[in-house]
A and B are shown apart, each in its own frame.
Chain A
Amino acid sequence: MYTDPILRVEGLRTHFYTFAGVVKAVDGVGLYVNSGETLGLVGESGSGKTVTAQSIMRIVPTPGKIVDGTIEFKGKDLLGLTEAEMRRIRGKEIAYVPQDPTTTLDPVYTVGDQLTEVIMKHQHVSKRYALNKATELLRSVDIADPHIRINQYPHELSGGTKQRIAIARALSCEPSLILADEPTTALDVTIQAQILDLLKALKEKFNIAMVLITHDMGIVADTCDRVTVFYAGQVCETGTTEQVFETPKHPYTEALLSSVPSLALRRQKLSVIPGNVPNLIQPPSGCRFHPRCSYARQICIDKDPELESIGDGRLVHCHRWKELDLKSAVAS
């Protein structure tokens, strides 16, 4: 079907057992990442993008639990590994770039301490070697004066620099997959562009696969090779960025694309998707998007559609994709 994906997730279900009930944050997610490519995960807040990424690394916070599914990374089933085996994968094989750079570095240690911690955890090298490597890493993420930065504490650095250091930390053991969870949300626009350019350049240079979580369609168009659209803990569709942007196959993608602000449509009212994100404790029956979907039929209320492969590596999660002729608001 698809050629040698480095990561394949199938039927992933991660539920949170809260006092209010079981929150089905991720409910049957399937996706794959080919080596060296960037996969964008897009969707509204609370659609399960971050929980999916946390599930891949098996760091879902309590009271969350992975209840079902398979996560296959380089042919290994990650859910079958012991915690100790998993710790050897985290940071070494799969690295994580977190959302908020302001608190991602431990305030009591210097930048050098935090980088050498990862390097020495996963590689048997001396402190001196690790420090040299750390300086090297800082240089590779375009930080000026790395020999000064290495001895500084996080509170002495700016948000953009901290995010660069977080990226340096993610790169430190040459991982084959980086999970970047909205790496630019907390930064201002100019720094955002710099960080994205940096991620793109590093990805090319080291040939790393990347999962980029975002809710910004502009970032997706700019950085991602393929996109997986999330809605309410499920996947709506997967395809190359071009495919999804030009010929969306899921009504939610169509609605999402039409609500992207555009300079060309200056005097028009921005279209919105009616309704709200569903409550994930008691999600709607059948297809979770049906209450907000303008194409919904009886079958959508009764039956949850399959995540169907429709060729060209595309997956669609909709009963009616064949009959619908969806338009893209951003297609050129």
Chain B
Amino acid sequence: MTTTLSPKKRESSRGVSQWALAWRRLKKNKVAIAGLGVVGLFALFAAFDGWPFVLTRNDHGLFAIYPPECIPPACAGGSLSTNAPPSLSHPFGTDSYGYDVYSEIVYGTRAAFVIGLGATGFALAIAVLIGLAAGYFGGWLDNLLMRLTEVFLVIPFFLLLLVFLQIIIKFSPSATGGLWLVVFIIGAFSWPGAARIIRGEVLRVREFEYIAASRQIGASANRILFRHLFPNVLHIIIVLATLQIAASVLTEAAVSFLGFGAPNSYTWGQLMNIAASYINQAWWAITFPAVFLTLFVMGFNLLGNGLRDALDPRLRE
């Protein structure tokens, strides 16, 4: 049975990286894998129109997806019932405009990924640069960057977000930028906590002999920062990113639900804001977006917690 032995042999000669070990630990964590499953389902949901109900048909042929810019009466198809309860053709019913709630939720999922990934990418790019620089160089630079971070931390970010959006909508009735503007502002105020955590991790990692060793072999500061420090704090960045995605989406939903969101965007918060006034006639129009929002946030949080357990070097056996 040499064939069954060879893959094992190859693995042992290749070496097992820290990431492979972390994946092994993550796989053992059922809750985290459930979170990963939820996140995966949402990704498929956003990526494919109408998935998983592609086979469900309605009056208009294939399953109805109304693009957000298409107001139902103007679109082909004609007769649309407003506030229709869940049925086979509209699994989550229709809202007060006659939009299919399921379709809206699909668009909301796409928006959620844009918000989550966009705001998190922006926030963590700032946080990583500030955290690495402050932690590695120390001294006056550390002092300056950390005081700046603290200034951002004490700003009541949520109120400021509402004010910013209100001003922009006032002065630009078409709300140019729309959703991306919200993403940008959420990102711009979400970095301070992450920056401090990354700095703390850099302070821990830079004391290891291998950082000193890379100076001893003549590595430059840039090389030490990005080739040696960054990969060794990446584990904490991954956890922060996962949790930040959930937090960003939740923030946007709150802003939109309060009526301060980007007016022409299709997000779960916007759907809930519109449907809130019709809660007596159509409970489904607000309930289903809320359920999806909850699942989305929960999925990322469970995954984030699982990743933290799997990646934390202090918990390693």
Q: Which residues of the other chain, A, contact B15 by a CB distance below 8 angstroms?
A: 110, 151-153, 156
Nearest chain B residue, comparing its CB with the CB of A104: B209
Interchain CB contact under 8 A, B13 and A169: no
Interchain CB contact under 8 A, B216 and A106: no
Interchain CB contact under 8 A, B210 and A90: no
Interchain CB contact under 8 A, A148 and B209: no
Find A107's partner among B213, B220, B227, B232 (CB 8 Å cutoff). B232
**Is B138 an interface residue when CB atoms closer than 8 A count as contact?**
yes
Interchain CB contact under 8 A, A59 and B215: yes
Interchain CB contact under 8 A, B138 and A148: no
Find A108's partner among B18, B213, B216, B218 (CB 8 Å cutoff). B18
Q: Which of A64-72, A95-103, A188-196, A208-216 is found at the contact surface with chain B? A: A95-103
B201-222 CB mask vs A (1 if < 8 Å, else 0) is 0000000111011111111100
- Would you call the interface of chain B mostly helix, strand, loop, or mixed? helix
Which of A62, A109, A110 has most chain B Cβ within 10 Å? A109
Nearest chain B residue, comparing its CB with the CB of A58: B215
CA A109 – CA B17 in complex, angstroms? 8
Give residues 215-262 of B contacting A (CB, 8 Å): 215-220, 227-228, 231-232, 234
Q: Which residues of the other chain, B, contact A99 by a CB distance below 8 angstroms?
A: 209
Give residues 134-176 of A contacting B (CB, 8 Å): 147-148, 151-153, 155-156, 166, 169
Interchain CB contact under 8 A, A155 and B18: yes
**Is B172 an interface residue when CB atoms closer than 8 A count as contact?**
no
Interchain CB contact under 8 A, B210 and A106: yes
Interchain CB contact under 8 A, B232 and A59: no
Interchain CB contact under 8 A, B220 and A105: no
Find A106's partner among B14, B16, B139, B232 (CB 8 Å cutoff). B232
Q: Which residues of the other chain, B, contact A109 by a CB distance below 8 angstroms?
A: 231
Q: Which residues of the other chain, A, contact B214 by a CB distance below 8 angstroms?
A: 106, 117
Which of B209, B216, B232 has most chain A Cβ within 10 Å? B216
CA A319 – CA B14 in complex, angstroms? 62
**Is A327 an interface residue when CB atoms closer than 8 A count as contact?**
no
Nearest chain A residue, comparing its CB with the CB of B313: A107
CA A87 – CA B219 in complex, angstroms? 7
CA A104 – CA B213 in complex, angstroms? 6
CA A100 – CA B213 in complex, angstroms? 11
Interchain CB contact under 8 A, A91 and B17: no
Interchain CB contact under 8 A, B217 and A169: yes
Q: Which residues of the other chain, B, contact A103 by a CB distance below 8 angstroms?
A: 208-210
Which of A88, A91, A105, A122 has most chain B Cβ within 10 Å? A91
A90 with B209: in contact, given A62-B138, A107-B232 (CB under 8 Å)?
no
Give residues 73-114 of A contacting B (CB, 8 Å): 86-92, 95-96, 98-100, 102-110
CA A313 – CA B153 in complex, angstroms? 63
Nearest chain B residue, comparing its CB with the CB of A84: B220
CA A107 – CA B16 in complex, angstroms? 11
Nearest chain B residue, comparing its CB with the CB of A156: B15
Find A90's partner among B216, B228, B231, B234 (CB 8 Å cutoff). B216
Nearest chain A residue, comparing its CB with the CB of B210: A106
Q: Which residues of the other chain, A, contact B16 by a CB distance below 8 angstroms?
A: 153, 156
Find A88's partner among B138, B218, B231 (CB 8 Å cutoff). B218
Interchain CB contact under 8 A, A95 and B216: yes
Known A151-B14, A166-B213; 20 more pairs at CB < 8 Å: A59-B215, A61-B212, A62-B139, A87-B219, A89-B218, A90-B215, A90-B218, A91-B216, A95-B216, A98-B216, A100-B209, A103-B210, A105-B213, A108-B17, A108-B18, A121-B217, A121-B219, A147-B13, A151-B13, A169-B217
A-B contact pairs, 15 of them (CB 8 A): A59-B215, A87-B218, A89-B218, A90-B215, A90-B217, A98-B209, A106-B213, A106-B214, A106-B232, A109-B231, A110-B17, A121-B219, A155-B21, A166-B213, A169-B213
